[in-house]
Amino acid sequence: MAENNNNKGADNKSDKNLKPKFNSNWIFAILAISFIAIQLIYSGKTTPKALTRDLMEMISNRDIERLVIVNKEIAEIYLTKEALQSDRHPDINVQGGGGMGLGAGSQKPHYTYNIADISTFEPFFLEEQKKAGYSDDEIIYPETITRRNYFGEILGWTLPFILLIFLWMFFMRRITGGGAGAAGGIFSVGKSRAQIFDKDTNVKINFSDVAGLEEAKTEVMEIVDFLKNPRKYTKLGGKIPKGALLIGPPGTGKTLLAKAVAGEANVPFFSISGSDFVEMFVGVGASRVRDLFKQAKEKAPSIIFIDEIDAVGRARGRNVNFSSNDERENTLNQLLTEMDGFGSNMGVIILAATNRADILDRALLRAGRFDRQIHVELPDVKEREEIFKVHLRPIKTEKNFDIAFLAKQTPGFSGADIANVCNEAALIAARKNKTQVEKQDFLDAIDRIVGGLERKNKIISPEEKKTVAYHEAGHATVSWLLEHASPLLKVTIIPRGRALGAAWYLPEERQITTREQLLDEMAYALGGRAAEQLVFGKISTGALNDLEKITKQAYAMVSYFGMSEKVGNISFYDSSGQGDFGFTKPYSEKTAEMIDKEAKEIIDSAYERAINVLKDNMKGLTELAELLLEKEVIFSEDLERIFGKRKADILKEEKEKKSKRKGVPASGKSRASSASSRKKPSTGTENIPSEAELKEPEKPASKTNARKDTNKT
């Protein structure tokens, strides 16, 4: 019975929601139509105006029956029946005269005459009649009346005020976002703007559409299961988690996971963005927070999802002088109170997503508000394969398509990047008029996303082209011969995006990076400039991107990772994001000079390593550059033919042989997220300004070096 009553109540609510709401825009439409109708009515048939010459002719022809002076300004002329029946007044005949009466009794005059001065008009009118031979009995004396248009006067006074009021209401509705909330208009500015999804809402996304993210899905699915079967947990004394925070880089599927929760849960789901709390009026954000939780409590059990919570959840008191009591902090304070204050929030679960957890307020992250912090990391190779399977469902691919190959070619790609790859591949295949998407289309799509669009028609001088060829050959040579450098896929001197040349690498997927690996990556990043110095005896601006990356890398090694002997095992990195390092440095001027000196020494030593490697392999460098000039694109097979197998591959084979002799299987590589990445035209390892970036891999395997911005020095 209870279920029936509840269902009945739900049906009644849904019926109420289906009723059409009054739209105040109809008021504007009715007023506009009324105003236009009034104008048309009062300006329908205009009375012809007579000139002085016309008036004198009408007097001489004895056409005037009577003349009425209105308000001492206008003379209304009424014609005789004989005059109307004649052909002297064709305009009057066409318009039907001054009405059906056609005489002195007609309501509308046949002509009007503008009087300049009433004192001179009357003598003139009488004098003209005498000249025309009128007798005393025939003379027409003007009638004088006063006429007032009360409606027009009222309309003239009130219409401006009415227009001002409605204009003010219109602009206020626009400012407040169209009157969100039940009441609409300015009085609903404090209403919540959350979208509500319930069992009656058709949400097509579920957990089967979320590939990878197995650990995150398990955590979130447990919350959904608690809402469906609460007794399973409460009988053991457990309590429902109050909140879960989804943390991860952009594009990893945090919002998608929340959408899947909305599709799976049979409870009301309130979705809102963090920026929706922010408004130009003081106190609006806090009011919207209160209204949101009020609605959620009324429909408990329910779920609230706040996307991009860092918009209102920034740490307080970071800069007391500038933002100690602003609107954002008031909103945050209200949010903290609603999440875990004196009031009861039983049955309301809060989900939130952010990619900047380091700047969130500590009070927001504590247990009791967000009991769980779910990290959504970049997918590894197996997870990328699953994501590809999801996004390839609507795409027509060739038979026996190797999805695992694509997963290996895209290290560091997020779920959003993979979706973009699939879409770009379909567009490329359609551009070539293919009936299905092939492997090469996906490879072209990866190159398009990572390196940019090919610009084969870009005009490059032979000298510049030769410089670019040796620059890229220097990168490829050093990376091939160093042990810890990333394996090379291909090198091209075809311009892409803003780069004149590019090299693609396939970095190992690892979670930690050693000092030796970092030094090797810096060395091959400087290989391009080293090649220019050795071959041409001069350097160019083509190494701008390389220098930027290695400079950041060197300073990170010294000041973050403690990889300098002189500075020691000291890190000045603030993982909490709560420090004031933007205004004051956590070290002295002497230490700053030491950091600068150590970073420069690391870069200089990496440059010397690149120079020495190229000197020892000058013949191979020249052969590789000439091959680049000839083919414009070369692959790893060409480098193996010139330099032999990579040192890393040789050492790996020797290690496997030793392991087989001892009967111990060779240690495989751990399935982990990539520590280096395929970056858009770049070289070196990742820039490490924050903890989040330290933990996540860089974007797929490409170093696109370039002679980017050749005008820059």
- Among all residues, which ones are annotated catalytic? 472
Cross-strand partners of 307: 273, 353
Nearest Cα to 478, choosing from 605, 619, 611?
A: 611
Question: Are 68 and 145 in contact, with CB atoms under 8 Å apart?
Answer: yes
Distance between CA atoms of 377 and 357, rounded to whole angstroms?
13
Over the Cα atoms of the chain, what is R_g? Answer: 41
How would you class 248 by CB atoms within 10 Å of its CB: exposed for 0-12, middle for 13-18, buried for 19 or more? Answer: buried
- Please spell the DSSP secondary structure of 180-227, one letter per residue: -SSS-SGGGTTS---EEE-TTS-----GGG--S-HHHHHHHHHHHHHH
Nearest Cα to 409, choosing from 372, 439, 377, 366?
A: 439
Q: Quick one: three-class SS letters along 644-679?
A: CCCHHHHHHHHHHHHHHHHCCCCCCCCCCCCCCCCC
The single residue listed with the structure tokens 């004394």 is: 237
Distance between CA atoms of 689 and 684, rounded to whole angstroms?
15
Distance between CA atoms of 595 and 573, rounded to whole angstroms?
14
Which two tokens mark 137? 């009995």
Distance between CA atoms of 256 and 263, rounded to whole angstroms?
10
Which residues lie below 8 Å from residue 282, measured CB to CB, with a gap of 6+?
327, 330
Distance between CA atoms of 481 and 613, rounded to whole angstroms?
8
Full strand arrangement of the beta sheet holding 243-247: 195-197, 269-273, 302-307, 348-354, 243-247, 372-375
Angle between helices 636-643 and 462-481 (to 10 degrees): 70
The single residue listed with the structure tokens 């299987």 is: 665
Q: How many other CB atoms are found less than 10 A from the CB of residue 46? A: 8
Q: What is the 8-class DSSP label of residue 275?
A: G
At residue 582, what are phi and psi to the nearest 5 degrees? -70, -20
**DSSP reduced 3-state for 245:** strand
Distance between CA atoms of 548 and 535, rounded to whole angstroms?
23
Cross-strand partners of 112: 49, 76
**DSSP reduced 3-state for 108:** coil
Distance between CA atoms of 382 and 388, rounded to whole angstroms?
10
Is the Cα torsion angle 597, 598, 599, 605 positive or negative in sign? positive
How many degrees, rounded to 5, is the angle at CA 609 between CA 605 and CA 615?
A: 140
Distance between CA atoms of 486 and 699, rounded to whole angstroms?
13
Question: Are 331 and 284 in contact, with CB atoms under 8 Å apart?
Answer: no
Nearest Cα to 231, choosing from 156, 164, 301, 284?
A: 301
Which residues lie below 8 Å from residue 347, measured CB to CB, with a gap of 6+?
240, 297, 300, 301, 302
Which two tokens mark 234? 């409460």
